Structure 1
């Protein structure tokens, strides 16, 4: 069943959002799913007789023939239920438009490749042998077929030379069947009504071989369709599993870090609270609560000494707590809470204030349960607003979004496969 362009395009967008390297596979799926005509492509170096071969196979002068490099784009023709493609030569400049066309023809659109090599060139070069190896491996995997066509055999001196060329190529690519043809002989035979020359051209035999290959295209396409769907589906599944594992690790890290912080903070608060409580209990009369008189402005009084003692104890407690907080990245205020006075933009000042002068304030802050709970609560809030915690939370959020995207891609692929 043909798939609407809207469904296909949306599915492609969803899959490419998580698997950008699958663009070529999705393009191939489009051809397979929509069941277009079987595609036969001639590939090979330029001036090896590819266009002439297509003209003889189709019986029509559709493809331009020239001694110079003629095919620099993807020429095509539909004839007798077959889509014929004439690709630019293998020696197209890498990265150019004709190189892209050659790639498209050989890998994205072809069901059958006619690999054309001119007999006059003798052995294959390294680029040709590499491509044949790639096409062979692809054929094993996808069931797409490649037929080796040894062209322009009329340009050899005799059958002995042809035999030597075939032997040399056979040693380079063992097991490869060579379809020996001459487009020139076929054309002369047709024009002159020469039956023996027509048979010797090899075009009739190649047509018969090609016909058998075309009969196998539907089953090959079904195999490739299932293969590509399975490959993408498995990659989506693998990606999603990895993403979920990463998210779970991040969540565990987030939870463990939070637990460690809360426990550590509680221990520090209890420790400094105990120190403060012991210090306060060791004091005698509460001199700090007695206000100084005017005559005491420049004198050292018991109240001043005690208030200084309380402030020192408070500062030491804050320093100890601040060291713990700094170790967990809790130092400056969140940007949205900062003031113009930079010296005041610290978490310690926001929660603890600047100074404490009286016993009751110090006791309320460090020794009473309500004071300790307030410090625990407020410092924990600032911990969750710290840069590190926000960055971790953002990582989890992004991973969640990636998982949703992977789920969307899997669903889109399933919808596309159900309509195939």
Structure 2
């Protein structure tokens, strides 16, 4: 697998990543685990110039990987031999600023079933970076059952056997839970060329091969375990996202319903109040002068018609003030943007529903005291309430929660469609 492991995602993977984008590596790994006829993969990791490529060549019995004193492995190199896929990754301390190198290291991590961690004996103990990576590989092995073999290479470059034993002992103390294989690729090559079986045996390569065969035999079982592990982890996280989304959606819907009940009750109460006040006002004696037009000479005179119209307007304004105060408490003030007029002062809910004035008592009666008028006020104020900024924001949050829940449900269904372990 190269970068296509990320590029060739299935629709099911896209559905899962839409909810869990941080699982991109796990899904890429799961695809490999469930791919039919995928050969077991051994990846050699370690620092630059620690003999990784030479070790691979001796293990394979051919010069399949380039060997040089300068940096040769800059991207992921691979060979398939006898049903095993061998990968040579760039050195851990090499110049990995290029995109190819970063991808190669990432791909090596994703593809490996077995890791050979190589450290040159001449370097002495493991440094902090090597120890950190070994700890990470060890933790991964506990979790996924992927195996890591620690290889002490180039032991022939030490002064004597005592020095080799001293370095091996120090590294063993640094990685106590990881068996150490001391090897010399040079001795192995010399023993093979010279037909010296004892030198081949002392090179450590036969013992390393035997250990490799043992861990390679466990790969199918480890893959089955890891695939189940990844499915379980991803499924549990998706189920948690779904549950959290459903809980949030339920809370938002309850909030929406509670707000609406409070608004409905409050609006009915304030309309009861202003309706009662208006009926009391309308029961007071009136000379019915509001509809009598003023004459041309009445422009600057107080007439009975003006007095009655003024009283009507005061009663109307008091009712509007009470309603407006209630609406403002629920965020129902301005009109939606699509209902705005050039006159800003008119872009309010109260003006849209109530108008600006009233002149006669019959008009007041129809608005506040008759069932049809009350129903109109309830209907139109409720409509603007649902269009208010707060209610619209709550509706958007509900829609977002619905989308999240639907995405989690779709991702869970998608996870079930991914192939079974090969």
TM-score range, shorter chain: over 0.9
Question: 1:96 Cα deviation (Å)?
Answer: 3.9
Partner of 2:185: 183
Partner of 1:102: 105
Partner of 1:151: 153
1:8-407 residue pairs with structure 2 within 5 A?
A: 9-35=10-36, 36-93=38-95, 96-97=98-99, 98-105=101-108, 107-407=109-409
Q: In 2, distance between residues paired with 1:419 and 1:202?
A: 35
Helix, strand or coil: the match of 1:70? coil
Helix, strand or coil: the match of 1:61? coil
| Structure 2: segments with no counterpart, 5+ residues | 1-5
Structure 1 residues 361 and 95 mapped into 2: Cα distance closer, same or farther (>3 Å)? farther
Q: In 2, distance between residues paired with 1:273 and 1:71?
A: 88
What's the C-alpha RMSD, in Å, of the aligned pairs? 1.8
| Structure 1: segments with no counterpart, 5+ residues | none
Deviation digits for residues 33-83 of structure 1, max 9, x if unmatched?
A: 014000000001111111111011011111111112221110111011000
Bigger mean CA offset, 146-155 vs 192-201: 192-201
Structure 1 residues 290 and 419 mapped into 2: Cα distance closer, same or farther (>3 Å)? farther
Helix, strand or coil: the match of 2:50? coil
Q: In 2, distance between residues paired with 1:378 and 1:392?
A: 20
> Is the Cα–Cα contact under 8 Å of residues 7 and 416 in structure 1 kept in the other structure?
no
Q: In 1, distance between residues paired with 2:305 and 2:416?
A: 80
Aligned partner (choices 397, 401, 411) of residue 409 of structure 1: 411
Question: 1:135 Cα deviation (Å)?
Answer: 0.8
Question: 1:373 Cα deviation (Å)?
Answer: 1.8
> Is the Cα–Cα contact under 8 Å of residues 39 and 83 in structure 2 kept in the other structure?
yes
Q: In 1, distance between residues paired with 2:152 and 2:418?
A: 41
Q: In 2, distance between residues paired with 1:37 and 1:148?
A: 22
> Is the Cα–Cα contact under 8 Å of residues 366 and 373 in structure 2 kept in the other structure?
yes
> Is the Cα–Cα contact under 8 Å of residues 43 and 90 in structure 1 kept in the other structure?
yes
Q: In 2, distance between residues paired with 1:122 and 1:181?
A: 15
Question: 1:403 Cα deviation (Å)?
Answer: 1.8
Structure 1 residues 47 and 372 mapped into 2: Cα distance closer, same or farther (>3 Å)? same
Structure 1 residues 418 and 336 mapped into 2: Cα distance closer, same or farther (>3 Å)? farther
Q: In 2, distance between residues paired with 1:100 and 1:343?
A: 62
Q: In 1, distance between residues paired with 2:286 and 2:50?
A: 109
Helix, strand or coil: the match of 2:418? helix
Structure 1 residues 72 and 195 mapped into 2: Cα distance closer, same or farther (>3 Å)? same
Deviation digits for residues 150-194 of structure 1, max 9, x if unmatched?
A: 000001001111111111112212232110101111111111111
> Is the Cα–Cα contact under 8 Å of residues 224 and 421 in structure 2 kept in the other structure?
no
Structure 1 residues 419 and 33 mapped into 2: Cα distance closer, same or farther (>3 Å)? closer
